[in-house]
């Protein structure tokens, strides 16, 4: 897309539907795509159980992808309308929507990543320009296509002490290590650490009928099996250098199958925490603090396991005034502005891409009829 070299701050709206497949987050951000960043309000729309099933049915690119993509896009459009109406913001005031879409396939080793979501339809329905398809160019340039949030984490944490680790625990967990180069610039390293909530969510649904372990109650009632955790940590992924990334279903939970519901949940929590701790071995310098975002920060059993495994203090991102529910949606608002301006969305240190690259596809809102 044509680069916009302006330094003016723009009002952008970000949309994120993550690997947990539980709903859509929307957030408003005013930013120049560089260091100026003010996060506004946010809103979440959970998916219905029926739509979650339809969405699960197209993972891998199987089934009625086009129909589910349209339904997904319309759900996003409704959430945009709801957020703007609640905040009395006109669509004309919003410069761009950053529309991540839903990942249904992520296999960068095969040069493929696929996020469904019809950017043209969303632009038509909302009357706002839309940037989507954030990951494809990175993968085409030899990158992992994930994680894409590190540049946003660096901008958001500009006033916090370095080095710092920010972990987002969604379906998959990823980490951004932010250090200082000593010249006022950030040094970044980012990668997927391993499982986030996906295995635990699937386990809870199978054993309790609830799509997640509410308040960590199931895991809190059980005991982790150290031998099974060690078995799961023997996965070849953990021996790879960073940057690296994962698909939601990269890990086989079969070793946990013989455990009780509570012990299985506790073991999966221990696996996620241990994988995050292993990630720290790849950092250039240990972080002074770990900040936790995503749904995982709401699980007391997981937060307790992290506190046990990590050598530095651990806290939810709210401890520094961030909105942990909106963080990824905010990131894609920020990245959409960077895309409009031709700025990099990813770096060799964040996705393994050969060189800093921008990305995204711009869909213009329909011209007003005269």
- Segment-wise mean pLDDT, segments of 10 residues, the chain, 370 residues: 74 92 95 96 96 94 96 98 98 98 93 96 98 97 94 95 95 93 82 94 94 95 98 96 89 95 98 97 96 95 97 97 94 98 97 97 85
Can you give the residue range of the structural domain that contains 178?
Answer: 150-320
How many domains is the chain partitioned into structurally?
A: 2
Confidence (pLDDT) at 2: 54
* Residue 180 within a domain: yes
Element (H or E) spanning 54, and its range? helix 49-56
Confidence (pLDDT) at 243: 92
Residue 74 belongs to domain with CATH number:
3.30.420.40
Q: Dihedral (C-alpha) 226, 231, 237, 241: value to the nearest 10 degrees?
A: 60
Confidence (pLDDT) at 248: 84
Q: Which residues of 224-255 are buried (b: 16+ CB within 10 A; e: fewer)?
A: bbeebbeebbebebbeeebbbbbbbbbbebeb
The closest alpha carbon to 219, from 235, 238, 197, 251, belongs to 197
Confidence (pLDDT) at 18: 85
DSSP string for 214-259:
GGGHHHHTS---HHHHHHHHTSGGGGSPSS----TT-S--GGGTTS
Confidence (pLDDT) at 186: 86
CA 180, CA 158: separation in Å to the nearest integer?
Answer: 10
* Residue 2 within a domain: no
Query: Do 252 and 270 fall into the same domain?
Result: yes
Query: Do 60 and 117 fall into the same domain?
Result: yes
Query: Do 123 and 169 fall into the same domain?
Result: no
Confidence (pLDDT) at 247: 83
DSSP string for 287-351:
-S-EEEESGGGG-HHHHHHHHHH-SS-EEEGGGGT--TTTHHHHHHHHHHHHHHTT--SB-HHHH
CA 369, CA 77: separation in Å to the nearest integer?
Answer: 21
* Residue 65 within a domain: yes
Q: Are 178 and 186 in contact (CB under 8 A)?
A: yes
Query: Do 275 and 330 fall into the same domain?
Result: no
CA 328, CA 148: separation in Å to the nearest integer?
Answer: 9
Confidence (pLDDT) at 242: 93
* Residue 370 within a domain: no
Q: Give this prediction's pTM.
A: 0.91
Query: Do 199 and 293 fall into the same domain?
Result: yes
Backbone region of residue 60 per phi and psi (left: phi > 0; alpha: psi in -120 to 50; beta: other values): left
Query: Do 165 and 287 fall into the same domain?
Result: yes
CA 241, CA 254: separation in Å to the nearest integer?
Answer: 26
Query: Do 21 and 98 fall into the same domain?
Result: yes
Query: Do 200 and 131 fall into the same domain?
Result: no
Query: Do 315 and 197 fall into the same domain?
Result: yes
CA 120, CA 364: separation in Å to the nearest integer?
Answer: 7
């Amino acid at each position: 897309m044509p680069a916009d070299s302006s330094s003016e701050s723009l009002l952008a709206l970000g949309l994120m539907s993550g690997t947990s497949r539980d709903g859509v987050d929307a957030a408003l951000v005013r930013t120049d795509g560089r260091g100026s960043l003010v996060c506004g309000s946010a809103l979440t729309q959970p998916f219905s159980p029926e739509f979650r099933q339809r969405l699960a049915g197209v993972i891998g690119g199987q089934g009625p992808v086009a129909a589910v993509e349209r339904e997904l896009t319309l759900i996003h459009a409704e959430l945009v309308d709801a957020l703007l109406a609640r905040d009395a913001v006109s669509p004309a005031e919003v410069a761009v929507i950053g529309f991540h879409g839903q990942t249904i396939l992520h296999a960068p080793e095969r040069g493929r990543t696929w996020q469904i979501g019809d950017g043209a339809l969303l632009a038509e329905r909302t009357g706002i320009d839309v940037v989507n398809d954030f990951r494809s160019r990175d993968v085409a340039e030899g990158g992992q296509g994930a994680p894409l949030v590190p540049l946003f984490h660096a901008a958001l944490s500009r006033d916090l002490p370095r080095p710092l680790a920010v972990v987002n625990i969604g379906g998959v967990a990823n980490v951004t290590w932010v250090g200082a180069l000593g010249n006022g610039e950030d040094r970044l390293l980012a990668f997927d650490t391993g499982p986030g909530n996906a295995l635990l969510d699937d386990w809870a649904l199978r054993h309790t009928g609830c799509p997640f372990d509410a308040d960590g109650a199931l895991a809190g009632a059980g005991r982790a099996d150290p031998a099974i955790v060690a078995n799961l940590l023997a996965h070849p992924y953990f021996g790879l250098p960073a940057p690296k990334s994962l698909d939601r279903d990269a890990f086989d939970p079969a070793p946990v199958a013989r455990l009780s519901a509570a012990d299985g949940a506790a073991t999966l929590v221990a696996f996620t925490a241990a994988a995050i701790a292993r990630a720290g071995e790849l950092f250039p310098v240990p972080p002074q603090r770990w900040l936790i975002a995503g749904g995982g920060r709401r699980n007391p059993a997981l937060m307790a396991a992290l506190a046990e495994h990590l050598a530095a203090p651990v806290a939810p991102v709210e401890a520094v005034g961030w909105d942990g529910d909106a963080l990824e949606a905010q990131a894609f608002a920020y990245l959409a502005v960077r895309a409009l301006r031709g700025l990099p969305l990813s770096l060799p240190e964040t996705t393994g891409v050969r060189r800093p690259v921008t990305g995204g596809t711009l869909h213009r809102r329909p011209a007003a009829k005269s």
